[in-house]
Amino acid sequence: MYRYIIAGLTLLLSTTLTADELKMPIGTQGDRDMQRPVNGMAKQSVEDRYGAPEMIKGPVGDPPITIWKYNGYSVYFEYDRVIHTVLHKS
């Protein structure tokens, strides 16, 4: 019995694992240094500081997610708070 366990462990340890490397180009995104809303900001604060959005989508789902589109980025809100800001491809 032990002979089979030792043989199995020896075979397992002697097996070489290999993986292929997949390189994917990163899309060109907008200006990373661009001032944009940060997580936790309230909708009113975003509008006061960055102005009215060009377009509003939503709210959709539960919790409600709303997207405000600006020139160069989109701001995602959950209820009244920013949860993510995404740069647009340039």
pLDDT digits (tens, 9 = 90+) for 33-71: 778 898 999 999 999 999 999 999 989 999 999 999 999
| Inside any domain, residue 46 | yes
Residue 66's domain comprises 27-90
Domain count, the chain: 1
Sign, CA dihedral 66-82-86-54, equals positive
Task: Inform me whether the pLDDT recorded for 22 exceeds 80.
Answer: no
End-to-end CA distance of the chain: 64
| Inside any domain, residue 40 | yes
pTM over the 0.85 mark = no
Q: Which of 36, 51, 29 is nearest to 82 (CA)?
A: 36
